[in-house]
Amino acid sequence: MIFTAVIKPTHICNLACTYCYNDDVRDPVMRDETLERTIAETFAYARAHAPGRRVSFIWHGGEPMVAGRAFYEQACDLQRHYAGDLTYANSIQTNGVLINDAWLDLFARERFSLSVSIDGPKPVHDAYRLDKRGRGSFDRVMAAVESVQAAGLPLGVCVVISRANRDRVDELYDLLAARGLPFNVIPINKSGGAREAYDDVGLGREDYAEPWIRLYDRWFDADEDYVYCSDFVFKTRAIAAGRPADCVGLARCADTNISIDPVGDVYPCASLSGHADTRYGNILDADLATLMAGPVARAYRDRAVDPQCARCRWQHVCHGGCQARSYKFFGDIDARDYYCPSLFRVYEHIARRLDERGVPRADRPPVPAVSCDRTNAAPVYTA
């Protein structure tokens, strides 16, 4: 088992993306005391509670590079000091705009992997990924991609599916495949800047499935233009093996994931930072084991099973979908994921594609075919 700590050294960002999910308006950079406590407690908890004794540190934001190179040099020194017999890895989710040779030297020396955000060709990417002066970021991001690849560092791409690229997924796939860029796909969350703009930038509950499936088929049928996509791999693996393979599908995702914000507040997920009712407590006030045993943490680790989910044939790989999206769209972590109807279509499609190829799938107890309704109320059955 890998214990994942998503650390947000700052909520400050040098871009102003239209669909930014960040709800936390506080703008400090994590202090030295908080950073040391965060790393020490992460290792201590993983040593006692993670059988695999592996830790994944994901540096997130805001724009995490705003914290500066000295911050990460200190973080890496602290990791070496506190890791002991545990193995660990560092990755950073960045918009890429601040990457230069000095940063590349640091990332190479400390063996960081990087993920940058690209939503498609220049007109698509620049529709929503703007700087604070309203200028598109595509050219700067692609220059960063080229420099990272030239340095030989591990690099992936995070793709947000939105109204800007929903009808241009072939161009998106061509762009990533031509540059050999592994990628992940996610929908827009209704939070932060996206809350007010959602009708203009976001997709409906059923609408996310269509571009996802078209992009999946490009990937599934690819030969010479194959490029790795983690969401496609994990969901395909889940359907084939009969068990979830990503945090979105886990029944108890909060068992193995935490997020710590700039002031040391601990949350179950990076996207929930700043919401007082999702806060476990503060890492400066209590050890992580105590916070993980608290009432808020227990609630996130014991999600109630929705009656419709219990009757769905994909419940065993989905478990109601993403709790953070349930909270952001409905204010209730026990509600089904907003994108539940799309997730049902996605799992159905993957199963069909595997059957076409003759790929064996794990047997599950027969249940009615349930399609997710629009209201989180009564189930709607498919033929």
Inform me whether the pLDDT recorded for 373 exceeds 70: no
pLDDT, tens digit, for every residue of 39-54?
Answer: 999 999 999 997 778 9
Query: Residue 221 falls within a domain, yes or no?
Result: no
Q: What is the token pair recorded at 145?
A: 């991609």
Inform me whether the pLDDT recorded for 62 exceeds 70: yes
- Let me know whether 130 and 268 are in one domain: yes
Query: For the chain, what is the mean pLDDT?
Result: 93
Query: Residue 235 falls within a domain, yes or no?
Result: no
Confidence (pLDDT) at 1: 72
Indicate the number of domains in the chain: 2
pLDDT, tens digit, for every residue of 155-191?
Answer: 999 999 999 999 999 999 999 999 999 999 999 999 9
Query: Residue 232 falls within a domain, yes or no?
Result: no
Containing domain of residue 326, as a range?
304-357
Confidence (pLDDT) at 364: 63
Q: How confident is the model at residue 193 (pLDDT cuts 50, 70, 90)?
A: confident
Section 256-278 average pLDDT: 94
Q: Give residue for tokens 């509670």.
A: 49
Inform me whether the pLDDT recorded for 27 exceeds 90: no
- Let me know whether 278 and 317 are in one domain: no
Label residue 266 exposed, middle or buried (CB < 10 Å: 0-12, 13-18, 19+): buried
Inform me whether the pLDDT recorded for 366 exceeds 70: no
Decide: 325 and 189 in contact? Cβ < 8 Å. yes
- Let me know whether 130 and 275 are in one domain: yes
Beta bridge partners, 29, equal 10
Inform me whether the pLDDT recorded for 376 exceeds 60: no
Inform me whether the pLDDT recorded for 367 exceeds 70: no
Section 71-84 average pLDDT: 98
- Let me know whether 188 and 315 are in one domain: no
Query: Residue 367 falls within a domain, yes or no?
Result: no
Section 343-360 average pLDDT: 97
